Amino acid sequence: MNPWVKRLTGLAVALVIFAIDQVIKNWVVHGLGLDQVGESRYVLPFYNFTFTQNFGVSLGLFTAGSPEGRWALVAMTSAIALFVFAWMLRERKLPEIAALGLVLGGALGNIRDRFGVGYVIDYADLHFGGWRPFLIFNLADAAITIGVLIILARSLFSRDKPETEAQPAPTVD
């Protein structure tokens, strides 16, 4: 497969994740009318749509408590997204390119939120009774996590080993 076709596939993955993420967030806020922190809609016994505002990054770390903090997070996450984009352009294997596309699309979705409304809109509330294995998250967060896990798994288990030519055994004269 042509290297540029692979890269365009990665960009397509990023754009699809970004678009779906933004559509779902818009639907949660405007379609379901969830726009107050803690408002919730039952979906399944183990899943609700619950609106929350994330002013930080992953797991609520580095919370931006001021406009300067908000823009610092926009700048930091934009720099990371540019790094991921550059990495995607250098990568040669489609699985890694697609995984980087997941990360890039998720990052762009969360950057768009932070830029537009000042926080990331989270809504996915996975729970089993009272136990919640994750904080409330969104599709962008899930895409970033899945992309990173794919990259890690492939780097640990699936990387091609360098080919070495079989050398004849040394002879003793």
Top mean-pLDDT range of 60-69, 89-98, 129-138, 156-165: 89-98
159, part of any domain: no
138, part of any domain: yes
Please state, in angstroms and rounded to a whole number, the distance separating the CA atoms of residues 117 and 29: 12
User: How many domains does one find in the chain?
Assistant: 1
170, part of any domain: no
164, part of any domain: no
Q: Angle at the Cα of 49 (from 40 to 10), degrees rounded to 5?
A: 155
pLDDT(172) > 80 = no
129, part of any domain: yes
Residues marked as catalytic: 122, 141
CA distances from 94 to 72, 87, 150, 151 (A): 33, 13, 12, 11
160, part of any domain: no
Q: Angle at the Cα of 140 (from 78 to 134), degrees rounded to 5?
A: 120
Give the structural domain span for 28: 3-154
Q: Mind listing the pLDDT tens digit for each residue in 117-155? A: 999 999 999 999 888 888 899 999 999 999 999 999 998
pTM as predicted: 0.85
59, part of any domain: yes
pLDDT(51) > 70 = yes
Q: Give the per-residue pLDDT at 132.
A: 84
